[in-house]
Chains A and B, each alone.
Chain A
C-alpha cells in the first residue's frame, strides 16, 4: 500500500500536482527576535561570521560560523520550552517522535480581523463560529492562524512594539483549551513572532498559548510565511526541528505540501 502511495506522491511532486510551499522566513541577522523585559536574558538573534571565502583563512572553500537562539527566525517550540511542559515525557526536540514532524494543517484566516485590530484576540466563540462556516477542525492537525503578519517582516510593524509592549494577534486561554482538549491539535502555527498575542502577558493565565499548548505536549511553529498560499484544509506540513540534545526548540525549514485539488 505505502509503496504505491509514496510513488504516487513522488509522481505528483515531479509533475507539480503536489506543490511544495516554503513557509520559512530567511534566517538573517536582521530578522527580529522576541524582545523580553530588559532584566531577563534576551533571545540571541541569528548571527553569521565568515570563516573563509576562498581566502587566506581557507583558500578553496566558503563557510560561516553561525549562532542564534533556539527560537530565532522561523522556529519550532517543543513542550519543554515552557514551565508547564517541563515534566512531560519526550518534551525536547531530540525526543519528540519523528512521526509528529509531518502533519496536516487547517488554516484559519483571521487576516481581516488582525488588519483591523493588531491586538485581535482569537476566542473559542470565534472558532466555533468558524467551524460552523468552514467545517470542524480535524484531530492531530496543526492549526495555523493566517494573519498576513508575515507581510510586515522588515518593518517595525512586525514586532509592533510600542511603549506598552508588542501588539500582535493571538489566542486567549479559552481558544487554546478548545484547540488542545476538544480538537486535539498537534500544535499552533503562526506568522507572528510568538504563538501568543503581543499583549498576552496581561492575559489570564499569562501567555496562554505557551502555557496550555506546551503543558499538554503540543508544539508551536512561529514566524511562518505564506500561510495565505495554503488551502483551509488538505495541506500537509513538514516541520523537522534540528535534533538538539535537550533542545527547547529549533530554527527549521518548514514546508507545506499542497495537492492540485486543494488549490
Chain B
C-alpha cells in the first residue's frame, strides 16, 4: 500500500525553491508519435502491417519481417520479469527523485519493455500498464498494480506522471459561469486544498455566487481575462501559490462569418478566449514553471477548456469556433514551451454546452458536471487531451480518421 499524501507544511520562505528539471528529452520521431497517442490516454504499440507482431522500442520498420509499422491500441497487461531500484543517476531530474524503481516487463502484447514501477509492484507481479507522459511530454510506460491498492494515486513516482489535484491549489478562471463552478467543486472533491475562483466583475453579483463562495476551500478572486492589469495583479499576489491553472472562460455566440455573425461578438470572443488565454499564460507560466518540482504540491498543469470545434470550425458558431481554434494553437505552443520546464499543458475539449448560448442546438449537449469530470480525469491521469462528452468524442474520432471530411461535415 502507498502512504497517503498529507498537505505539506507551510514552507520556509527563506529557502531557495527547488529548481524543476525535466527528464531526458531527446526522442526519435517514432517515440514522439507514441507521445502524441499517450497524450490521448491510449495504450499503443507499433504493429506490423505484414506479420501483425507488436514491437517496442519504437522503430521505423518491423524487426521480424521488415514490414511497415503503425500504432495500434494494445492489451494493457504485463508481467514484471526483473526489477531494480536506481539509487544513483547523473541526470538532474532523476537525481532529485532517487531512489527510482524500474523493471523489465513482458507485455501481453509481446515485446519486452523497461518500465517505471509503482511502489506496490514487485518482480513477478502481473501488472496493468499505462502509457503516460513524463514531465517533458515524452512517452513513459508505467506499471501499476493489477488491482487498485490503497492510496495508489499517492505513489510519489506515479505522481510525477500526473497533475493530481490532491493537496494542490488551483485557479479556476471563471466562477461566474456554471462550468467554472462545477469544475471548482469537482476539484475540491478530488482533494484540492484550495480553489481560487475567478470573478471578472466583482461589483456584479452572479447566479450561484452565494452557494459556491460558501463552500469551504473556495477563495473568490478578482480576475478578468480581458483586463491585463487584473491578471497581472492576481499573478503577483498568487503566482507562487497556484499549482494548477484551469481556464474555463468562454464567450460563445451564434452566427456565421458572412451571415448572422456579429463583429463585436467575434472581437469579444477573441479578446476573452484568445488574448485572454495569452494574458493568463504570460502572467502565470513563469510562476508555475519556477515551482514545477516544489514538493508534493509542486506546480503541475495549465488546463484549457475549449470547444472541440476549434478542430473543424462550425457553421452556426463560426466566431466561437475560430476562438477555439486559436486557443488550440496557443495551447499547442504553450505545451511545447512548458515541456521545457516540467508543467503539463492540457486541453479539455467539449461539444456544445447545455447553456443559454446553445438553446437552439439539439442534444446531446455537455453539462458543466461532465466538463468538471473531464478536467479532474485529465489532471489525475496526466492526459494531455481529453474529450468531455459524446459530441466531442465523436468529432475527435471523425477528425482523427478524416480531418477534411469532418471539417465539411461540421460546416454543413
Chain A residues close to B by CB (< 8 Å)? 29-30, 32, 35, 38, 41-42, 45, 47-50, 154-156, 158-159, 161-162
Q: Is the CB of A156 within 8 A of B204?
A: yes
Cβ contacts under 8 Å, A49 to chain B:
228
Q: Is the CB of A42 within 8 A of B268?
A: yes
The 6 A-B pairs of least Cβ separation, nearest first, read A29-B227, A41-B264, A156-B203, A49-B228, A29-B229, A161-B204
Q: Does B262 contact A (CB under 8 A)?
A: yes
Cβ contacts under 8 Å, B265 to chain A:
41
Q: Is the CB of A159 within 8 A of B226?
A: no
CB-nearest residue of chain A to B229? A29
Chain B residues close to A by CB (< 8 Å)? 201, 203-205, 224, 226-230, 262, 264-265, 268, 356
For this complex, 5 residue pairs linking A to B, each with C-beta atoms less than 8 Å apart, are A29-B230, A42-B264, A47-B226, A48-B228, A156-B205
Cβ contacts under 8 Å, B204 to chain A:
32, 35, 156, 159, 161
Complex CA–CA separation, A45 to B203 (angstroms):
13
B202–chain A nearest beta-carbon distance, Å:
8
A159 touches which of B203, B224, B228, B356 (Cβ 8 Å): B203
Complex CA–CA separation, A64 to B216 (angstroms):
40
- Please name 20 further chain A to chain B contacts, defined as beta carbons within 8 Å, in addition to the given A32-B203, A41-B264, sorted by A numbering: A29-B224, A29-B227, A29-B229, A29-B230, A30-B230, A38-B356, A41-B262, A42-B264, A45-B227, A47-B226, A47-B227, A47-B228, A49-B228, A154-B203, A155-B203, A156-B203, A156-B205, A159-B204, A161-B204, A162-B205
Complex CA–CA separation, A154 to B201 (angstroms):
11
B357–chain A nearest beta-carbon distance, Å:
9
Cβ contacts under 8 Å, B205 to chain A:
156, 161-162
A157–chain B nearest beta-carbon distance, Å:
9
B163–chain A nearest beta-carbon distance, Å:
31
Cβ contacts under 8 Å, A42 to chain B:
264, 268
Cβ contacts under 8 Å, A162 to chain B:
205
A50–chain B nearest beta-carbon distance, Å:
7
Complex CA–CA separation, A47 to B224 (angstroms):
11
Q: Is the CB of B203 within 8 A of A48?
A: no
Q: Is the CB of A48 within 8 A of B262?
A: no
Complex CA–CA separation, A45 to B265 (angstroms):
15
B265–chain A nearest beta-carbon distance, Å:
8
Known: A29-B230, A47-B226, A49-B228. A158 touches B264 (CB 8 A): no
Complex CA–CA separation, A74 to B205 (angstroms):
23
Cβ contacts under 8 Å, A29 to chain B:
224, 227, 229-230
CB-nearest residue of chain B to A35? B204
Cβ contacts under 8 Å, A35 to chain B:
204
